[in-house]
Structure 1
Amino acid sequence: MADESDNEKTEDPTQRKLDEALKRGDVVKSQEVNTWFIIAAGALALTTFSGSFANGLYTTFRGLIANSYAIRTDGRALVSLGEKIGIETIAAVAIPFLLLLLAAIAGNMVQHRLVWTTETITPKLSKISPIAGLGRMFSKQALANFIKGLLKLTVVGVVLTALLWPERDRLEGLISADPAAISGLTMSLSAKMLGAVVAILAVVAIADYLFQYRQWHEKQKMSLQEIKDEYKQSEGDPAIKGRIRALRHSRMRQRIMAAVPKATVVITNPTHFAVALQYEPGMDAPVCVAKGVDRIALKIREVAGEHNVPIVENVPLARALHASVEIDQAITPEHYKAVAEVIGYVMRLRRGLARQ
């Protein structure tokens, strides 16, 4: 039972899992959001730039038709004509096209960060497998998309019908109306319909994004075992870390055994800190050869006692040296005076013992 609960994906994904999904291109993506941005941009372009767009093309093609009898179509002249028409057409549609392009990019950026990956386009057998294809066609996701499409068409159709139904008499009269009047009414009705479609699709896009996010988040969930494995990979296996700590302690003890006998003095407080210093004539300053707290401090004192290294109790100095000096480094200048007094005391003690 414990193994089954460990393998159930009930835990929220870690940041590392989310980052890996982003690198693979596995992100939240609602096609409805992209569709809304493109349709909204198209509606904006149509209502804002349709006049300049139409006038630009009207001027170009009116001049072309009016002067058709004088246009040369032989050799280079025909190529130049095609280039001119193409440039003027592109210039007329450039702003609407750029707006649609920016909308397509924005539709992705509002859902997730930009992703640069080749994994989604890497050939895979599952993508071309007929069996896998049939599975996708008749999957729950495909059924949900089909139902969503029907509902969207139904709602849009009902709303557009409600908008156009009061205008049915005017629409019938357009058969015999002046072209200028037809253009004005068409633009007015088009703006109303586009506004309604954009509003409906905004609601659909928000609902679909929330649904897609929930589906994606559920897919990213992890089991307890996966979280444990990820912790081991990122932080290291606790057993291995324990062995590393034991090895470090072993090396520290060996270093103490080798360094403390060479020390000139060991400065301690009664139980917690011990710092072994070495000083020889000609040295700029005493050097710390070993230091430690608690058990390591006790070991330093034991080794010092075994090799007749003087042990001097000085609580504030021992604490200060342990905090400020690393092993194999000289003591800092602010401790020169206090350490010099201790080493001087040790040397006088040795000279007294030598006379005896």
Structure 2
Amino acid sequence: MICSAIFTTSWPVWEDYNHTKADFRLSGSRAWVFNNFDLQLFSGEKTEDATPKRKQEARKKGQVAKSIEINAVFVILAAFFTLKMLGPVIYSQLEEYMVLIFSNLVKSDLTIQAVQILFFDLSWVIAKTILPLMFAISVIALAVNFMQVGFIFSPQILMPDLSKLNPISGFQRLFSKRSLAELVKSICKVAVIGYFIYRFALINAAQIPKLISFELIDSLKLASTLIVDLVFQIIAVMFVLAVLDFLYQWWEHNQSLKMSKQEVKEEYKQTEGNPQIKGKIKEKQRALAMRRMMQQVPQADVVITNPVHLAIALQYDKTMTAPVVVAKGQDFLAQRIKDIARENRVVIVENKPLARALYPVVEIGEPIPPELYQAVAEVLAHVYRLKKRLS
């Protein structure tokens, strides 16, 4: 009676799209089927990891996981390491130039030619002292960027974006979750680095009064030593913070690229094609292949069966190195092959072991394997004798 009420109701019955679960509620002679819909498809919630295509498109736009802190750490390290290595050379060159200038400047007239010579000498000294430092910083900065994101050429970043001039959008970016995270990171970085500077100052507080009693050169050496030691300690702390920042940037980048299930489906349709259309195409391709296969059955010399479930049609002539399978099938298709064979007077031979051996190893259009030559030859010899007797 319940089944009759369900199927005879005049109310519409909605079938579940994935045929999994349904909640039946009966009220008198009427029944409704409430389906378990995936509400995430309608909410647009981004819960799926980004596809390779989405990541590639983001990369083309310059959207990659990158930590500026790592760049800053290695640039500062390169600068101070270069200064520590080339410091004595830079100091001696500057010293020679200053001595030359102040010793000759008072002895010569300040003419245009003298000013030009002075300018060229100063440029040459600056080039010899500054260019190695700038070169080291540039090489390290490019190398660190390349290690983080690889080679990227994105002209879209250079294109003007008028939406960035919108004050409302700028205000939203200013108070966004990303801006808040950057503020928290900056505060933590300043606090940690400030603590280590304070700690270094306490440890080396006894060295600072010595700068007053030392000569100028000795004071500069001591000050430079203290500064370099402090900088390398700060760099070590900043490196740990930079690694944590890179991990956060990588996580935040992946979160920003996440997709909803509907976006994944739409992308799949764009790249692979509509699954329904592809299914129809494959169905037509199978139908055409089936039709071509059935057209080859009348040309076969023999159809080997087991006898109900399998049927394999073989063809052989003197131009072939071995008999070729022109058609095969099981169950309904096997019955269809046998029907066509009977209509065209193709000999049907029942041989269960041979049929079971041929069906899984030979595809349509392929010759039989050598290990089955003798068994097939016996069948073909029987067929030829039979045809000769009938003729």
TM over 0.5: yes
**Which letter does structure 1 place at the counterpart of 2:302?**
V
Quick one: distance in 2 between partners of 1:240 and 1:283?
A: 40
Q: Does 2:59 match 1:22?
A: yes
SS of the residue corresponding to residue 10 of structure 1 reads coil
- Give, in angstroms, the shift of residue 51 of structure 1: 2.2
Whether 1:5 aligns to 2:40 is yes
Alignment of 1:90-105 (within 5 A): 90-105=127-142
Mapping for residues 133-172 of structure 1, pairs under 5 Å = 133-165=170-202, 171=208
Question: What is the match of residue 159 of structure 2?
Answer: 122
Q: 1:233 to 1:48 in 2, by over 3 A?
A: same
More off after superposition, 131-140 vs 176-185: 131-140
Higher relative CO (Cα under 8 Å, sequence separation at least 6) belongs to 1
- Corresponding residue for 1:108? 145
Secondary structure of the corresponding residue to residue 253 of structure 2: helix
- The corresponding residue for 2:225 is 188
Deviation (angstroms), 1:285: 4.7
Q: Secondary structure at the match of 2:64?
A: coil
Note the residue ranges of structure 1 that are not aligned, 5 or more in a row.
Answer: none
Structure 1 contact 310–346 (Cα < 8 Å) conserved? yes
Q: TM-score normalized by structure 2?
A: 0.73
Shift of 1:233: 4.5
The answer on whether the counterparts of 1:256 and 1:300 sit within 8 Å (CA) in structure 2 is no
User: Are 1:52 and 2:89 counterparts?
Assistant: yes
Q: Name the stretch that deviates more: 15-24 or 195-204.
A: 15-24
Task: List structure 1 runs of 4+ shifted beyond 6 angstroms.
Answer: 67-71
How has the CA–CA distance of structure 1 residues 59 and 301 changed in structure 2, closer, same or farther, with 3 Å as cutoff? farther
Match for residue 240 of structure 1?
A: 277
Q: In the alignment, which residue of structure 2 is the partner of 1:228?
A: 265
Q: Which sections of structure 2, spanning at least 5 residues, go unmatched?
A: 1-35
8 Å contact from structure 2 (residues 294, 327) kept in 1: no
C-alpha distance in 1, partners of 2:98/2:350? 103
Q: Choose between structure 1 and 2: higher helix proportion.
A: 1
Contact 1:37/1:106 (CA < 8 Å) preserved in 2? no
Aligned mate of 1:251, from 288, 302, 307: 288
Which residue is equivalent to 2:302? Answer: 265
Separation in 2, partners of 1:37, 1:67 = 42
Q: Which residue does the alignment assign to 1:43?
A: 80
Given residue 5 of structure 1, which amino acid in structure 2 is its aligned partner? Q
1:131 equivalenced with 2:204 (yes/no): no
CA contact (8 A) 2:211 2:222 kept: no
- The residue type paired with residue 198 of structure 1 is I
Query: How far apart in 1 are the matches of 2:73 and 2:285?
Result: 61
1:347 alignment partner, SS class? helix
Amino acid at match of 1:258: Q
Structure-2 separation of matches of 1:187 and 1:327: 84
Match 2:255 to one of 218, 221, 243: 218
